[in-house]
């Protein structure tokens, strides 16, 4: 009897200019991102929010998670503008990596390349926005709130 | 638990590209430490081999290293915590000896960063963080430390000149350390001259001169029980405190961006165990992989209050003749940073200082020294306190 070959759910390979992981239980993150939504997970048992999203809660050991949108604005904690890059990102320089603090979670990512460094100040409010990349990949960037 | 001492230290020259195999590189540090301790391979009960595996072609290097050094059939095993691998090796050696399981343990740290091509090394750079959630944005080590520098500057008014001053101090001592990879002088003007390589931007606000050099190198520390230390060594150096802590890899899990929480926590543990405080430290080796890292170390170790680290370098308090000499062997910035060998090399420097055998780098009569060794961007914090008298001994 021929059993159909099981397809791998490699959706996560779409995340980032270069992706290093394809298999994860939080693959739906990529579908949400494609719909323009950046999502975190929330543990249904103890209500802890996780960004980056997790499939498992390390506080109460539950794996029953709900998706929750990264909404509103966070405060810019810090950033750095790179003039050198790892292989695969060379075409992107200069670009800035950064961290936003949303209060009960933080988000690590890139600052929108259309923003001038002169407009960036630690402490300023920023939003996390889904972003399509030229090579068909997707990620998210931080824009002025 | 038994008292534990260091009876032998060694390291290779740190060089840009070692012209030999990994086992031969490790032998250089081992030979010096064994000669220093005055023991032979049969005296060693176990060996702990430390490196960062992404640079190694050899699978399970501990076996090959133990074979080459004549350390069969004693147990050997491999540990890694990135750039603090050999401090973790020291922590394990301490517990193996303190528990009574072994009397003498060799801690062998090494890295041959030139083992892989620079293209391969570039590729690994991108995986030096959380590969699922951070690396897809194009991250690298200097950029993470640069984020800490940016936050320190914004919160405390730390200046690019303060960062440059750390490198200038480092080069002052790199010039007199014949094991260092970078032995040239560095001036503050190099950082402001756009023609000079040192001023080249890497990841704002860090410049080329703010970053340590890759290197090939090996280190070896021989750790012994009190009985064996008294038998073999005229000047045993005692391990008074070992502290270790961890923080999240992903920056989203951190709550401090002007310092390294894992370093603070490791320091608190080491101080408590040794029964000493920051003011008792006569000399320190800190993990200056980037200039900002040394300033944060001053604060995380309690040598300065949060935000006041820059004042220590402005007043030259951390120079050889200052109140708290730091990295008077050139540090990672000038001596070089062969990942797995670095912690052992820092320990060697402090041991030589506490014995009064540090040559031109010698600080006047230090009794208690400290080693601060960090793995990754503050993922693994390690602080070790050493003394020339056993715990509770006369100082």
Distance from CA of A3 to the nearest CA of B (A): 32
Q: What angle do CA B365, B370, B257 make, to 5 degrees?
A: 140
Is the C-alpha dihedral spanning A101, A107, A110, A114 positive or negative? Answer: negative
Q: What is the C-alpha separation between B138 and A7, in angstroms, rounded?
A: 29
Contacts of B207 in chain A (CB under 8 A): none
Residues A97 and A44 in one domain: no
Protein fold of B4-117+214-232: Peroxisomal Thiolase; Chain A, domain 1 (3.40.47)
Return left, alpha or beta for A115; rule: phi > 0 is left, psi -120 to 50 is alpha, else beta: beta
Per the document, the length of chain A is: 145
How does residue B394 score in pLDDT terms, banded at 50, 70 and 90?
very low
- Is A20 in contact with B137 (Cβ distance < 8 A)? no
> SS3 for B21-60, per residue?
CHHHHHHHHHHHHHHHHCCCHHHCCEEEEECCHHHCCCCC
Output the tens digit of pLDDT for each of chain A's 145 residues.
566 667 788 899 999 988 888 899 999 999 999 999 999 999 999 999 999 999 999 999 999 999 999 999 999 999 999 998 888 888 999 999 999 999 999 999 999 999 999 999 999 999 999 999 988 999 999 999 9
Per-residue pLDDT tens digits for B228-278: 999 999 999 999 999 999 999 999 999 999 999 999 999 999 999 999 999
- Is A95 in contact with B122 (Cβ distance < 8 A)? no
Contacts of A108 in chain B (CB under 8 A): 133-134, 137, 250-252
Q: Please indicate whether residue B123 or residue A122 has the higher confidence score (pLDDT).
A: A122
Residues A87 and A132 in one domain: yes
Q: What is the C-alpha separation between B302 and A36, in angstroms, rounded?
A: 46
Domain end among A25, A42, A69 = A69
The predicted pLDDT at position A134 comes to 87
Question: Does B132 touch chain A if contact means CB atoms closer than 8 Å?
Answer: yes
Q: How many domains does chain A divide into?
A: 2
Complex ipTM value: 0.95
Asked if residue B371 lies in contact with residue B386, where contact means CB atoms within 8 angstroms, the answer is: yes
Residues A38 and A57 in one domain: yes
Q: Is the pLDDT of residue B117 over 90?
A: no
- Is B138 in contact with A108 (Cβ distance < 8 A)? no
For testing contact with chain A, the best of B128, B137, B157 (most A CBs within 10 A)? B137
The predicted pLDDT at position B110 comes to 98
Q: Who among A77, A86, A123 is closest to B123 (CB)? A: A86
- Is A108 in contact with B146 (Cβ distance < 8 A)? no
What residues of chain A have any CB closer than 8 angstroms to a CB in chain B? 12, 15-21, 24, 51-52, 77-89, 92, 95, 97-99, 105-110, 117, 122-123, 139
- Is A88 in contact with B148 (Cβ distance < 8 A)? no
For testing contact with chain B, the best of A108, A109, A121, A130 (most B CBs within 10 A)? A108
Tell me the domain boundaries of chain B: 4-117+214-232
Q: Is the pLDDT of residue B395 over 50?
A: no
Q: Does A6 map to a domain? A: no
Q: A46: domain range?
A: 11-69
The predicted pLDDT at position B393 comes to 58
User: Residue B389 carries which DSSP code?
Assistant: S
What's the whole-number average pLDDT of chain B? 96
- Is B138 in contact with A109 (Cβ distance < 8 A)? no
Residues A83 and A124 in one domain: yes
Q: What is the C-alpha separation between A7 and B316, in angstroms, rounded?
A: 63
Q: What is the C-alpha separation between B81 and A5, in angstroms, rounded?
A: 40
Per-residue pLDDT tens digits for B84-104: 999 999 999 999 999 999 999
- Is A21 in contact with B131 (Cβ distance < 8 A)? yes
- Is B139 in contact with A97 (Cβ distance < 8 A)? yes
Distance from CA of B121 to the nearest CA of A (A): 9
Reading the block at residue B164, the tokens are: 């440059």
Contacts of A52 in chain B (CB under 8 A): 130, 132-133, 250, 252
Closest of B276, B320, B321, B319 to residue B301, by C-alpha: B276
B337 is catalytic: yes
Reading the block at residue A129, the tokens are: 């926005």
Q: What is the largest CA-CA distance in chain A?
A: 66
Which residue in chain A has the smallest CA separation from B137?
A16
Distance from CA of A96 to the nearest CA of B (A): 9
Residue of B102, B287, B337, B372 marked active site: B337
Residues 6+ apart with CB under 8 A from B326: B283, B284, B285, B286, B294, B297, B298, B303, B312, B318
The predicted pLDDT at position A7 comes to 78
B83 is catalytic: yes
Residues A138 and A85 in one domain: yes
Residue of B50, B83, B211, B289 marked active site: B83
- Is A21 in contact with B204 (Cβ distance < 8 A)? no
- Is A20 in contact with B140 (Cβ distance < 8 A)? no
- Is B203 in contact with A17 (Cβ distance < 8 A)? no
Distance from CA of B294 to the nearest CA of A (A): 19
Residues A140 and A82 in one domain: yes
Distance from CA of B252 to the nearest CA of A (A): 5
Residues A79 and A140 in one domain: yes
Q: Does A58 map to a domain? A: yes
Q: What is the C-alpha separation between B41 and B72, in angstroms, rounded?
A: 9
Return left, alpha or beta for B331; rule: phi > 0 is left, psi -120 to 50 is alpha, else beta: left
- Is B127 in contact with A52 (Cβ distance < 8 A)? no
Contacts of A122 in chain B (CB under 8 A): 150-151, 154
For testing contact with chain A, the best of B117, B123, B129, B133 (most A CBs within 10 A)? B133
Residue B149's CB: how many other CB atoms inside 10 A? 30
DSSP string, B195-252: TSGGG-EEETTEEGGGBPPP-EEEEEEEEEEHHHHHHH-SS-EEEEEEEEEE--SSGG
Asked if residue B140 lies in contact with residue A86, where contact means CB atoms within 8 angstroms, the answer is: yes
Q: Who among A12, A21, A81 is closest to B204 (CB)? A: A81
Asked if residue B278 lies in contact with residue B312, where contact means CB atoms within 8 angstroms, the answer is: no
Question: Does B204 touch chain A if contact means CB atoms closer than 8 Å?
Answer: yes
Contacts of B290 in chain A (CB under 8 A): none
Residues A83 and A127 in one domain: yes
Whether the pTM exceeds 0.80: the reply is yes
Residue A66's CB: how many other CB atoms inside 10 A? 12
């Amino acid at each position: 009897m021929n059993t159909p070959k099981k397809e791998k759910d490699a959706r996560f390979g779409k995340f980032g200019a270069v992706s290093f992981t394809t298999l994860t239980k939080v693959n739906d993150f990529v579908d949400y991102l494609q719909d323009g939504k950046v999502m975190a997970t929330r543990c249904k048992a103890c209500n802890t929010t996780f960004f980056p999203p997790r499939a498992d809660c390390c506080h109460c050991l539950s794996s029953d998670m709900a998706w929750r949108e990264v909404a509103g604005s966070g405060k810019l904690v810090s950033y750095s503008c790179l003039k050198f890059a790892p292989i695969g990102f060379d075409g992107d320089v200069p670009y800035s990596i950064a961290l936003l603090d949303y209060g009960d979670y933080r988000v690590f990512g890139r600052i929108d390349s259309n923003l001038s460094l002169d407009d960036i100040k630690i402490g300023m409010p920023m939003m996390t926005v889904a972003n399509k990349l030229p090579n068909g990949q997707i990620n998210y960037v931080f824009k002025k709130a | 638990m038994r008292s534990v001492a260091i009876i032998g230290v060694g390291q290779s020259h740190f060089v840009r590209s070692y012209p030999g195999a990994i086992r031969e590189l490790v032998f250089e540090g081992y030979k010096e430490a064994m000669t220093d301790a005055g023991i032979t391979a049969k005296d060693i009960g176990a060996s702990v081999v430390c490196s960062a595996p992404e640079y190694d072609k050899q699978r399970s290097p501990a076996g090959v290293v133990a074979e080459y050094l004549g350390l069969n059939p004693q147990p050997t095993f491999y540990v890694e915590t990135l750039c603090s691998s050999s401090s973790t090796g020291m922590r394990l050696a301490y517990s193996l000896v303190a528990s009574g399981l072994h009397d003498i343990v060799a801690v062998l740290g090494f890295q041959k960063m030139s083992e892989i091509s620079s293209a391969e090394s570039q590729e690994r750079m991108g995986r030096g963080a959380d590969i699922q959630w951070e690396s897809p944005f194009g991250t690298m080590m200097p950029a993470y430390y640069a984020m800490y520098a940016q936050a320190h500057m914004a919160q405390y008014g730390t200046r690019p000149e303060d960062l440059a001053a750390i490198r200038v101090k480092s080069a002052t001592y790199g010039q007199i350390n014949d094991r260092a990879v970078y032995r040239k002088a560095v001036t503050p003007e190099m950082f402001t001259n756009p023609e000079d390589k040192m001023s080249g931007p890497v990841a704002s606000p860090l410049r080329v001169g703010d970053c340590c050099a890759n290197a090939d190198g090996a280190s070896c520390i021989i750790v012994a029980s009190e009985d064996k230390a008294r038998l073999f060594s005229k000047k045993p150096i005692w391990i008074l405190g070992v502290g270790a802590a961890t923080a999240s890899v992903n920056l989203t899990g951190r709550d401090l961006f002007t310092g390294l929480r894992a370093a603070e926590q490791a320091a608190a543990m080491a101080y408590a165990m040794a029964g000493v405080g920051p003011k008792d430290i006569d000399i320190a080796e800190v993990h200056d992989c980037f200039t900002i890292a040394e300033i944060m170390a001053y604060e995380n170790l309690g040598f300065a209050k949060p935000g006041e680290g820059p004042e220590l370098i402005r007043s030259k308090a951390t120079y050889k003749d200052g109140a708290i000499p730091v990295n008077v062997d050139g540090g990672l910035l000038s001596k070089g940073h062969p990942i797995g060998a670095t912690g052992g090399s820092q320990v060697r420097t402090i041991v030589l200082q506490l014995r009064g055998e540090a040559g031109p780098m010698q600080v006047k009569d230090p009794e208690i020294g400290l080693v601060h060794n960090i793995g990754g961007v503050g993922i693994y914090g390690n602080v070790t306190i050493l003394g020339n008298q056993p715990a509770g001994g006369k100082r």
